[in-house]
Chains A and B, each alone.
Chain A
């Protein structure tokens, strides 16, 4: 594991920097490209944490589907989706909100770390077969429900667009 500390650190830095890019990029196109970088660095972090299958899912589903969906929508937007500049008051509110969240999460994690970390597991127990046994065993119902969720999302997205289009024609 010690050999992974360097890539882990690089991945963490890349994830945080690209997240800053997503939150602050003025143009949505740049934001979407930063999101791509962010999801790839998160996938690298998953690999370092020996979550191979989740890393593959992150690359396929996230970088491959979600970010491309974002890019498509950005291309569809008039004017690339420009945005009015945020005033100083809004900036202060956002910074305070972010800082409060950070402090709250940090405090919770500090307690978790102080309470003593359990012994680390070895990589062999994170094989894909074990993950499949969990997904199709103990978590079968949540796993099947995601299919329903995706169907509802698709129908919702299509009908949202359809109804608006129909009202416009009238």
Chain B
């Protein structure tokens, strides 16, 4: 981790944004890892969906950072598309969660569901 910050500091000597880039990269990796942890840890479909949203946000952050560092606006357009995809995913996921929760008060994503069909 120290080496990463040092590498950022070295390249940051030439330009401003690259000094901040390692920090944002580290944040993005942390967010994605937290999302994976939550995905594996939680049984509640709502919490699982929120963890997936965390991972999508981490990817979005990385896209925007890449656009800033490389000076290409395509990253912003891709981030907007990811935003739409996460909205669509939330709609379908929440409908599935509601169906799971309808019969049992404590829904568990690992138990056998009755959603199929």
Measured CB to CB, the residues of A under 8 A from B are 1-2, 4-5, 8-9, 12, 15-16, 19-20, 22-25, 28, 31-32, 35, 38-39, 42, 45-46, 48-51, 53-54, 57-58, 61-62, 65-66, 69-70, 73-74, 76-79, 81-84, 86, 90-91, 93-95, 97-99, 101-102, 105-106, 109-110, 112-114, 116-121, 125-126, 130-131, 134-135, 138-139, 142-143, 146, 149-150, 152-154, 156-158, 160-161, 164, 167-168
User: What are some 11 contacts across the A-B interface (CB < 8 A)?
Assistant: A5-B19, A15-B61, A23-B34, A24-B38, A48-B20, A51-B64, A53-B80, A105-B29, A117-B11, A120-B15, A126-B67
Measured CB to CB, the residues of B under 8 A from A are 1, 3-4, 7-8, 11, 14-44, 46-47, 49-51, 53-54, 57, 60-61, 64-65, 67-74, 76-81, 83-92, 94-99, 101-102, 105-108, 115, 117
The smallest beta-carbon distance between B85 and chain A, in angstroms, is: 7
The answer to whether B31 and A35 have CB atoms under 8 Å apart is no
Q: How many A-B residue pairs have CB under 8 A?
A: 288
Contacts A22-B54, A28-B46, A57-B80 given; does A86 touch B41 at CB 8 Å: yes
The answer to whether A110 and B67 have CB atoms under 8 Å apart is no
The answer to whether A31 and B67 have CB atoms under 8 Å apart is no
CA distance A134 to B35 in the complex (A): 30
The answer to whether B23 and A93 have CB atoms under 8 Å apart is no
Set B33, B39, B50, B91: member contacting A157, Cβ < 8 A:
B91
The answer to whether A118 and B43 have CB atoms under 8 Å apart is no
The answer to whether A81 and B80 have CB atoms under 8 Å apart is no
The answer to whether B27 and A16 have CB atoms under 8 Å apart is yes
Q: What residues of chain A lie closer than 8 Å to B38, measured between beta carbons?
A: 22-24, 94
Set B7, B35, B115: member contacting A113, Cβ < 8 A:
B7
The answer to whether B40 and A90 have CB atoms under 8 Å apart is yes
Known interface pairs A31-B47, A53-B76; 13 further A-B residue pairs with C-beta atoms within 8 A, sorted by A's residue number: A8-B24, A9-B23, A16-B30, A22-B51, A23-B51, A24-B38, A90-B41, A95-B37, A120-B71, A134-B74, A157-B94, A158-B95, A160-B115
Contacts A51-B79, A69-B90 given; does A164 touch B46 at CB 8 Å: no
